[in-house]
């Protein structure tokens, strides 16, 4: 149950843009959620914007008081503490609406998809071009955070979609990024 929350606000830094700091913060959170095998903590980005596309400088952690205390006791923030203002554990407002916060994946680079197909299916460049035409590329307007996968070590853009607001919560679990297509978090 995501009855409580902890807000983490990034402090302005002249050397690092907020997006880069959010990527570092979010990557640290992801690694710790994996290490703890924790699927009971969700996230939201209250300061995100679609136009201009920006994930914002505010990360909100959602969960039970016990789960959030366990996470915060694990010292996952490390060197990010000097870049962040960490607020105390608070109960979510009872009148808050709810929404999902999920990852969206897009086909944004046809050439990369062709190279991958050629490797996986032992196809020629011409065959891959026929199967993956340029027009499949999608333009993305969602905010994103640059993260490093704990399983592959690869850096990638994780696009984040905040679903429509709902009056009632939907319970369930979150993935290792604190995201879910079905489980909601309080939105306020």
Global confidence as pTM: 0.81
CATH of the domain at 155: 3.30.70.2540
Are the CB atoms for 128 and 117 separated by under 8 Å? Answer: yes
Q: Establish if 114 belongs to a structural domain.
A: no
Catalytic residues: 30
Q: Establish if 129 belongs to a structural domain.
A: no
* Phi–psi pair at 148, nearest 5 degrees: -115, 125
**What is the reported pLDDT for 107?**
61
Cis omega before residue 141 (within 30°)? no
**What is the reported pLDDT for 51?**
81
Are the CB atoms for 183 and 174 separated by under 8 Å? Answer: yes
3-state secondary structure (DSSP) of residue 158: strand
Helix (H) or strand (E) holding 20: helix 18-36
Q: What is the mean pLDDT of residues 58-83?
A: 95
Are the CB atoms for 61 and 74 separated by under 8 Å? Answer: no
Expressed as residue numbers, the domain containing 51 is 4-105+138-187
Q: Establish if 110 belongs to a structural domain.
A: no
Q: Establish if 180 belongs to a structural domain.
A: yes
Residue 120 predicted with pLDDT over 70: yes
Condensed to tens digits (0 to 9), the pLDDT of residues 18-53 reads: 889 999 999 999 999 999 999 999 999 999 988 888
* Phi–psi pair at 108, nearest 5 degrees: -105, -10
Q: Establish if 127 belongs to a structural domain.
A: no
Are the CB atoms for 100 and 180 separated by under 8 Å? Answer: yes
3-state secondary structure (DSSP) of residue 149: coil
Are the CB atoms for 86 and 8 separated by under 8 Å? Answer: yes
- Token duo for residue 7: 């807000």
Between these two residues, 90 and 134, which has the higher pLDDT value? 90
Q: Establish if 124 belongs to a structural domain.
A: no
* Phi–psi pair at 141, nearest 5 degrees: -110, 0
Residue 137 predicted with pLDDT over 70: no
**What is the reported pLDDT for 108?**
64
Average pLDDT over the chain, rounded to an integer: 90
- Token duo for residue 39: 């699927």
Helices 18-36 and 65-73, axial angle in degrees (round to 10):
110
**What is the reported pLDDT for 25?**
96
Condensed to tens digits (0 to 9), the pLDDT of residues 142-160 reads: 788 888 877 788 888 889 9
Question: Shortest CA distance to 181 belongs to which of 162, 157, 156, 165?
Answer: 162
Count of domains in the chain?
Answer: 1
Q: Establish if 79 belongs to a structural domain.
A: yes
Q: Establish if 111 belongs to a structural domain.
A: no
Residue 104 predicted with pLDDT over 90: no
């Amino acid at each position: 149950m995501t009855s409580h929350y902890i807000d983490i606000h990034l402090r302005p830094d002249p050397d690092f843009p907020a997006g880069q700091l959010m990527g570092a913060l979010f990557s640290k959170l992801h690694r710790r959620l994996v290490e703890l095998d924790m699927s009971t903590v969700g996230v939201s980005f209250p300061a995100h914007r679609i136009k201009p596309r920006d994930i914002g400088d505010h990360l909100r952690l959602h969960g039970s008081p016990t789960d959030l205390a366990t996470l915060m006791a694990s010292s996952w923030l490390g060197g990010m503490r000097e870049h962040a203002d960490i607020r105390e554990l608070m109960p979510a407002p009872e009148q808050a609406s709810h929404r999902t916060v999920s990852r969206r994946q897009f086909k944004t680079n046809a050439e990369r998809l062709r190279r991958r197909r050629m490797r996986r299916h032992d196809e020629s460049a011409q065959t891959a071009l026929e199967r993956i035409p340029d027009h499949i590329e999608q333009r993305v307007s969602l905010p994103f955070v640059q993260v490093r996968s704990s399983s592959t070590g690869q850096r990638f853009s994780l696009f984040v979609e905040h679903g429509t607001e709902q009056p009632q919560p939907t319970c369930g679990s979150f993935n290792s990024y604190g995201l879910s297509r079905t489980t909601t978090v309080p939105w306020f």
